[in-house]
Amino acid sequence: MVMSVREIRVQFNPANTSECIGKIELHTISETEAKINESEEAFQKWSRMSSVARGEILQAMANLLMEHMEPLAGLASKEMGKTVPEMIGEVKRGASILRYFSQEGMRATGEVLPSASDDKMIFTKRVPLGVVAVITPWNFPIAIPLWKIAPALVYGNTVVWKPSIEVALTSQYIADLFVKAGLPDHVLNIVQGRGSKLGKVLIESPKVKAISFTGSNAVGQQILDVAGPTKKKIQLELGGKNAAIILADADLDLAAAKTIEGAMKQTGQRCTATSRVYIEAPVYDAVVEKLIENAKQIKAGVTMGPLASKQQFENVLEHIERAKGQGAKCIFGGKPVAELSEGYFVEPTLFTNVTHDMDLAKEEVFGPVLAIFKVADYEEAVRLANESDFGLSASIYTTNIQKAFDFIDRSEVGLVQINDETGGAEPQAPFGGIKNSGTGAREQGQAAKEFFTTLKTITINGIQYKE
């Protein structure tokens, strides 16, 4: 019998591309199929375990995550480039997610309903789906996997998890911690490899009952095309082209600081990053000056990390050059960081003279690039902010409460922020977008159970009430 040989992948630090930080063995197609089978078998016992006991394992995992915070954050920082403080924040967020969903094991999963018949009882209960495929990106290597895996597990599903190959070492660390937390064998199986190879196995397998994916629109569409006709449950969290609006009555210092934070935090590698800002004409010049001053405070290599990979680095630079070629004016940044040439560092970049027919107004850059627009008034700002194929997040800076609530109603997004940056999510709040930003049930909060469970209605006949 000839044994297949696993491919070895070497991981390098995007802040110092000559630094090897580790190696990982990639799984084969047959190994992935075996993992699916193992998870299907494990489901029988796991789904029958008390949901309280399942929640206790998540609580233990949260504690372990905090105990391993510094080494995990350090590894993740070296693997995909976020600064260590940003990664420590993500570890803490992951622990919060686990603690929130650990309590779901103690909450009601159904309700008793009245019947028109005196001798019948009707009630509902939520039941798990089976094997769930979780496919996650590199930009939030801790938080995004946990906000999918935690609800999947506590509601009684088993999981086959394919993380991005770019964060294979971080992902394996997390999977190993789940074992230490007491998770039974094969309830969570991790498969390491390229999405084009192993992802195809997961989305085509009839034993996989649901797919939760975060990533690019192109891959999301492929999942819909392949898995949609199979009637699997599909949850897609995709791209964004998130807009901020700054009105003349706003706290301009707050608005400028938060807009730059939203655009540049995590090097702009967030689906919720602020990508466009619309500024009312009377304060336009003043706000642009404040945006530049805030951008100057960012220190590449200290407060802002590199882009996560060579491909990401080249993609962002290509967006910048295309914007210049189409007539946009680069007023700050726009180049690789010369003194950090060993890594994939790009300067915080601001563009003006952007029109809505330019690619910079329409396409997700996924880097530290902000397009700035001047608008005549609130109405023009809302119209242009909504003029996008994406609909993930938007923010408005204003002291006018009527306009704030009007924007809540009229903004064509799933997440609305008032006087805050476009990013940010808490475990108890539903997360997701509309238009091309997402498909299926929302993630996190009570919305998570809508995706990871299905409702069963039970009627009991012949109930006798004796006096």
Q: Is 426 a catalytic residue?
A: no
Please tell me the predicted confidence (pLDDT) of residue 466: 56
Please tell me the predicted confidence (pLDDT) of residue 25: 95
Please tell me the predicted confidence (pLDDT) of residue 153: 98
Domain extents for the chain?
A: 8-238+437-458, 242-418
Please tell me the predicted confidence (pLDDT) of residue 465: 58
> What is the amino acid identity at position 58?
L
Please tell me the predicted confidence (pLDDT) of residue 1: 38
Please tell me the predicted confidence (pLDDT) of residue 374: 98
The first and second tokens of residue 135, run together, are 């496919």
Report the top-level CATH class of 242-418. alpha beta
Q: Which residues of the chain have pLDDT under 70?
A: 1-5, 464-467
How far apart CA 187 and CA 26 sit, in angstroms, is: 20
The first and second tokens of residue 372, run together, are 């700035």
Burial label for 146, CB within 10 Å (0-12, 13-18, 19+), is buried
Spatial CB neighbours of 257, under 8 Å, sequence gap ≥ 6: 290, 294
CA-CA distances (angstroms) from residue 176 to 163, 182, 188, 190? 14, 10, 10, 10
Reduced to 3 states (helix: H, G, I; strand: E, B; else coil), residue 371 is: strand
How far apart CA 313 and CA 298 sit, in angstroms, is: 18
Superfamily of domain 8-238+437-458: Aldehyde Dehydrogenase; Chain A, domain 1 (3.40.605.10)
Taking the CA atoms of residue 304, residue 91, residue 170 and residue 65 in that order, the dihedral angle to the nearest 10 degrees is 160
87 alpha-carbon distance from chain centroid: 15
List, for residues 333-390, the tens digit of each pLDDT value.
999 999 999 999 999 999 999 999 999 999 999 999 999 999 999 999 999 999 999 9
Of the residues 90, 237, 347, 364, only one is catalytic, namely 237
List, for residues 196-239, the tens digit of each pLDDT value.
899 999 999 999 999 999 999 999 999 999 998 988 999 999 99
